[in-house]
Amino acid sequence: MLTPGSGVLVDVEAAGVSFPEVLQTRGEYQLKPPLPFIPGSEVAGTVRSAPEGSPLSAGDRVAAFPMLGGFAEVAVSPEFLTFPLPDALDAKQGAALILNYHTAWFSMVIRGRLKAGETVLVHGAAGGVGTASIQVANGVGARAIAVVSSDEKEEVARAAGAAEVVRSDGAWKDEAKELSGGGVDLVVDPVGGDRFTDSLRSLAEGGRVVVVGFTAGSIPEVKVNRLLLNNVEVIGAGWGAYVMGKPELNREIGGEIAKLIDAGHVEPVVGASFPLGEAAEALKLIDGRGATGKVVLEL
């Protein structure tokens, strides 16, 4: 759908499943394709054919972002959102690469201006965006404090590389301030809901909260006097809306992620995997807050 009439044809081996697909099944996502449609924003597999002039050719292993149509045996993806998949990553990890890691880079580095030596608080840290954010933070030399809701998710966040883990039902704001020596520099928030004010309170002077999503269901409101009093910022990060019209930026972010894969920082955390025919079960797992890492469909 992103490049009608052209694109890279990919024989799909694995398809990533994410929160937007849950919303799409209810018609609650910003993208509302006419029914019937095939969901599936990202896949990994082998190139069947590539447009003329593309650096890709038949037989290449790739991670690709078709936006729709990924829950299928064959998908079509724009050339600028199709990236060589290094041997270090398997197909399921490839299907977990683009949405989460490009979002993490875009949110933290491009929008949030994250620098080496800073501390990042990551909400929903055992989830897809969360685990990617921990790894990208480590890759740029920052330190990640993870916020999670259970023992199992704590383990996942630690395995992803979190330096510290705090609990969403505990005194996480005070703990984060203590662990960061007075306040964190950046908060990555894919969760939203009623924790938002405490995210602002957990910041150091000059700190930023990057708004990434609202898995908790409600959209927080900000009393802007808090921003003035503490010299902090709230920043929106909508990856898709920003990058889709900018092919070069996608290649640039893909290049940065490739460097982090080579350096061993990016290793997508894959959770549950289902056969294609059980896609509905995969969506229910995410909807029920039961997913850790990336949920994938295998073909």
Ligand X SMILES: NC(=O)c1ccc[n+]([C@@H]2O[C@H](COP(=O)([O-])OP(=O)(O)OC[C@H]3O[C@@H](n4cnc5c(N)ncnc54)[C@H](OP(=O)(O)O)[C@@H]3O)[C@@H](O)[C@H]2O)c1
Q: Which residues bind ligand X (CB under 6 A)?
A: 18-20, 99, 103, 124, 126-130, 148-149, 153, 168, 190-191, 212-217, 237-240, 286, 289, 291
In the complex with ligand X, which residue's Cβ is closer, 40 or 213? 213
In the complex with ligand X, which residue's Cβ is closer, 77 or 215? 215
Q: How far is the CB of 285 from ligand X (least distance, A)?
A: 9
Q: How far is the CB of 120 from ligand X (least distance, A)?
A: 15
In the complex with ligand X, which residue's Cβ is closer, 22 or 75? 22
Q: Which alpha helices (H) appear in 143-289, and where do they start and end?
A: 151-160, 172-179, 196-201, 225-230, 239-243, 247-262, 279-287
In the complex with ligand X, which residue's Cβ is closer, 9 or 146? 146
Q: Count Cβ atoms within 10 A of the Cβ of residue 248 and give its class: 0-12 exposed, 13-18 middle, 19 or more buried.
A: exposed
- Report how far apart the first and last C-alpha atoms of the chain are (Å, whole number): 22
> With the C-alpha atoms ordered 74, 19, 131, 221, is the resulting torsion angle positive or negative?
positive
In the complex with ligand X, which residue's Cβ is closer, 61 or 112? 112
In the complex with ligand X, which residue's Cβ is closer, 121 or 237? 237
**39: phi then psi, degrees, rounded to nearest 5:** -75, 180
Residue with nearest beta carbon to ligand X: 127
> Identity (one letter) of the amino acid at 294?
K
Distances (CA, A) of 228 to 4, 32, 173, 199, 207: 46, 38, 20, 15, 12
**206: phi then psi, degrees, rounded to nearest 5:** 80, 5
**What is the Cα 241 distance to its own chain's centre?**
14
Q: Count Cβ atoms within 10 A of the Cβ of residue 119 and give its class: 0-12 exposed, 13-18 middle, 19 or more buried.
A: buried
Q: How far is the CB of 45 from ligand X (least distance, A)?
A: 21
Q: How far is the CB of 57 from ligand X (least distance, A)?
A: 30
Q: How far is the CB of 159 from ligand X (least distance, A)?
A: 14
Single out the residue of 152, 153, 112 nearest to residue 136, CA to CA: 112
Q: How far is the CB of 205 from ligand X (least distance, A)?
A: 26
In the complex with ligand X, which residue's Cβ is closer, 99 or 120? 99
d(Cα 74, Cα 42) in Å, to the nearest integer?
Answer: 12
d(Cα 210, Cα 113) in Å, to the nearest integer?
Answer: 10
Q: How far is the CB of 97 from ligand X (least distance, A)?
A: 12
